[in-house]
Amino acid sequence: MMKKVVKNAEEAIQGIERGMTLMLGGFGLCGIPEKCIEALSKKPEITNLTCISNNAGVDDFGLGFLLKNHQIKKMISSYVGENAEFERQMLSGELEVELTPQGTLAEKCRAGGAGIPAFFTPAGYGTEIAEGKETREYNGKMYILEESLVSDYSIVKAWKGDTKGNLVFKATARNFNPAMAMAGTITIAEVERLVEPGELDPNEIHTPGIFVHRIFEGKDYEKRIEQRTIS
């Protein structure tokens, strides 16, 4: 059987090239593949990337690293506030941005990963999101046709994983990671703890290893908090 375990982020991102489409899991900075993003930022020659990610990081963390290096040509996201460099590049036209409703974005990944090329959703009907898209009425309600997404590489972050690529996520760090894992031509998983087959309870695995091609254990996760709020 092909070995899925790689040494580290540098080895995991081998094969990612200029102009490719990447999916990156995470919501805000929660559950982002911080090790692989850091490794990509150390290869500034990999440019013209299309990045599909719910958010675009902050100025000095997450996808903010790749933005600063001008490695990203296009972002497909639902919410991109809280990032000054992003805003600057978007307004100056350096960066192309396709804003997509969050549920539509999640379903585009899930459906793409499930072999379904398009679907009808009510989100965005009657708004500029629907412009140029086919609309159809079902049971008296209007829907728009949205096309699914797949990636050249999907990069996800899990809490635990085994050497067969099975993944378990923690709390709300799950978010987009499972759907994006499904939609990768090659899916890379970075995990906090890599274990042997049999150590994860099969009843409690969130992402079956069939969707994961490369896996490694990351060291010293920073897990930066965007809005530290206490009671």
**Residues for the chain: how many in total?**
231
List the end-to-end C-alpha distance of the chain, in Å, as a whole number.
50
Alpha carbon distance 42, 30 (integer Å): 22
Could you tell me the two tokens for 174? 């799950």
- Output the DSSP codes for 56-85: --BTTBTTHHHHHTT-EEEEEES---S-HH
Q: Which residue, 16 or 55, has its beta carbon nearer to other proteins?
A: 55
Structure tokens at 60: 């000095």
- Minimum distance of other proteins from residue 119's CB (angstroms): 10
Strand ranges for 69-166 from DSSP E: 72-77, 96-99, 118-121, 135-138, 141-147, 151-162
Nearest approach, Cβ of 32 to other proteins (angstroms)?
Answer: 11
Given the complex with other proteins, which of 45 and 231 has the nearer CB atom?
231
Nearer to other proteins, 11 or 60 (CB): 60
**SS3 category, 11:** helix
CA distance 75 to 96: 6
CB of 175 to other proteins, least distance (A): 5
CB of 208 to other proteins, least distance (A): 13
What letter would DSSP give residue 220? S
Q: How far is the CB of 134 from other proteins (least distance, A)?
A: 16
Which secondary structure element, helix H or strand E, spans residue 109, and what is its range? helix 102-113
Nearest CB to other proteins, comparing residues 1 and 171 = 171
Q: Which residues bind other proteins (CB under 8 A)?
A: 27-31, 54, 77-81, 90, 97, 99, 101-107, 109-110, 121-129, 159, 169-179, 206, 223-231
Judged by beta carbon, residue 41 or residue 177, the one nearer other proteins is: 177
